[in-house]
Each structure stands twice: as structure tokens, then as C-alpha cells.
Amino acid sequence: MVNPQDDTHRLSRLFMAYRLRWKRRRLLLRAWRKRRQITALCDRSDQIAPDAILCFSTMRNEMLRLPYFLDHHRRLGVGHFLIVDNGSDDGTVEYLRDQPDVSLWQSGASYRLSRFGVDWLTWLQMRHGHGHWCLTLDADELFIYPFHETRPLAALTDWLDDRQIGSMGALMLDMYPKGALAEAEYRPGQDPTEVLQWFDSGNYMIQRQPRLENLWIQGGPRARAFFAKEPRRAPTMGKVPLVKWNRRFAYVSSTHSILPRRLNHVYDEAGGEKLCGVLLHTKFLPIITAKSAEEKQRGEHFANSELYETYYDGLIENPELWCSGSRRYRGWRHLEALGLMSRGLWL
């Protein structure tokens, strides 16, 4: 006997797949239209090897973080960086121009109206990322994964290729110091985790979003300190930063979700564990109070910046995020033991 509910469910899924296919095409068209907003300052993309792992990023005034960001991901095995600078005036552009494995573009257009830089990167990924494993990161994110000290990214992507897995997820883990944020000391090139030694290990909420089938993770010190009364407004922490790229792919919301939505299936739907990494989020370096004042005035980092005024105000006040429940960072095995990272079947 045919179950009418099964037919309804099947038709509903087919209709949703149709709508998302057109959404993906609109995002790709949008990126194509925005391509003229970026100008090449130093295009070395002709040096990209056929098997190179690429890193894409949009950034502004990140000179403090750049030396370690680049060195860390070079050590992992990134072969080339494709970066869009959005109006830096702190030496970021000059520094990136001198890096032989960096191709650099610049835009003076609105970061917010470019979907927070995603439109610009989508165009570059269409042109240069097809067929490559691509990391898409912010300058304040350091990608780590099980065995990352001894196994290069190429070993990881080979393992994923062998199992026909096209994407890998990661939890964005906010790292912070003990004491007021602006009182810590950090020098360019230093490992940020030597200063940002602490994180929250257990106050996370996880939902599976039915539309895009991605994980929506909220929690950590930002939810605890700035969104305690309205936790559902806290930033989302789940991302899909590593993807075997195809020119028909498009991120929907930063790297929190992607189309086609099968790439969002970075979790085990049967309830087990699947290989995943962590993005060590170095947002809370000592410059955070000054940058928060600037970004509050610019209003470029949130779709509705007025809703986040109290968040910026809280950061400007130079708070202390450390609490009695904070955990000291001790490496990826510690994160795995706490359930924040998994090696899955990768042994």
C-alpha cells in the first residue's frame, strides 16, 4: 500500500532541492557580477600546481596575525594563498605582496554587501579552485585536525579522496587569555595559543538545520558573556572550511553552510563520530578592544549591526572572559578527549 505521507515527503524534498539549486545558481551569478569589485595587485595563480591545496581568505588590517597565520598553514601543506584585502592601512598589503606563495586582490567595496567577502572569494574559487582541495578561512582562524603535527594536509585530503568524501567540518573554538583582553601581550609571528590559552569546553548547543542540513552550533565564551539573555542570537560556531572544490559550489553563509547541501553532511547521521577538525579562533588578541570600536562604527560585520551594539560595547569595555569553568588548551588530543574534535575512522 502506498503511504500518502511518504509521497508528500518525497515531493517536499524534491521541491526543496529545486529551490536550493536555483539559489546556488543565483549565488554564482552574484559572484560573477561582483568580480569587478576586486582588482589584482599581485596575481601569481599561474604558479598553482595541479595538486596544490589552496587557502582563500578575505581580510582587513590583519598584520598582527598574518605571519603566524601563513606559517601555520604552510606547515600543514597549503600550497598557495588567494587573498582579498578590503582596504587595509596597517601594512597588510605590503606584507602580502612580498610573499611568493600569495596571490592578492584588493577591493574598496562594502564587505557587508559582498556577503562579508564571500562573493569575492566565490569568484576566485570558480576561477582557481576547481578540482583543488580548498580551505576557506578568516585571518583569525587556525585550522587543526587529528595528527596535524605529523600528518600533512595532503595525507588528510588523500584519505578523504579515497573514501569519496568531499568536505570536512570544524568547530570554531574561541580562545581567550586569563585576565582582561587588552592586557595580554602578543608579538607578530608568535603562536597565538601561547597568549590565548583558554577555551570553553562544554556549553554548546547543536541543532541540525532542516533546510540546508548543516549543523548550527552556538555557545562558548561569546554566548556566555555577551548573549546570556538571548543565547539564540549568539554567533554560530559550526563551519565547513575544507572542500574539494567544484566551480558550481557556493558558500551560503560564510563557511557555516554550502551548496550543494550534501557537502554540509560533515557529521555522522547514525549518531557515531565522523572525522572533524577545529578552527582555533584568535579573535581575542589584545587589539580586540580597539578593533571592536572601529568595527562598531563601520557597521560592516553583521547584517543588522544595530542588534550587536551591546556586543561591541561589551568588548570595548575590555572584559575578562576567563571563568572557573575555563579549560587550558593542551593540543588536539585534549580537544578530542573533550568531544570537540574527532578522528573518526582516520587512525
Q: Rg (Cα) of the chain, in Å, rounded?
A: 20
Place 303 in a pLDDT band, splitting at 50, 70 and 90: low
55 forms bridges with which residues in the sheet?
A: 81, 135
At residue 3, does pLDDT exceed 80? no
Predicted confidence at residue 230, as pLDDT, reads 87
pTM higher than 0.75 for the full model? yes
- Tell whether the model's pLDDT for residue 127 goes beyond 90: yes
Confidence of residue 149 (pLDDT cuts 50, 70, 90): very high
Render pLDDT for 91-108 as a digit per residue (tens, 0 to 9).
999 999 999 999 999 999
| Closest listed residue to residue 301, CA positions, set 180, 138, 192, 169 | 138
| Confidence class for position 39, pLDDT limits 50, 70, 90 | very high
C-alpha cell at 69: 597565520
pLDDT over 60 (residue 228):
yes
The DSSP annotation for 234-270 comes to: SPB-EEEEEEE--TT-EEEETTTEEESGGGG--S-TT
- What average pLDDT does the segment 14-43 reach? 95
> What's the confidence (pLDDT) of residue 277?
97
Least confident of 76-90, 124-138, 217-231, 292-306: 292-306
Q: With 90 as the cut, is the pLDDT of residue 130 above it?
A: yes
Residue 30 confidence class, pLDDT cut points 50, 70, 90? very high
User: What is the predicted pLDDT for the residue at 305?
Assistant: 55
Check residues 220 and 299 and name the one with the higher pLDDT: 220
Q: According to the model, what pLDDT value does residue 211 have?
A: 93
Range of weakest confidence among 102-111, 265-274, 331-340? 265-274
CA distance 285 to 338: 24
Q: What is the mean pLDDT of the chain?
A: 93
Dist. CA 314–CA 292, nearest whole Å: 9
Q: Is 229 helix (H, G, I), strand (E, B) or coil?
A: coil
Mean pLDDT of 170-176: 97
DSSP structure class, residue 90: S
Mean pLDDT is lowest, of 178-192, 227-241, 283-297, for: 283-297
Largest Cα–Cα separation, the chain: 70
Neighbours of 185 (CB within 10 A): 9
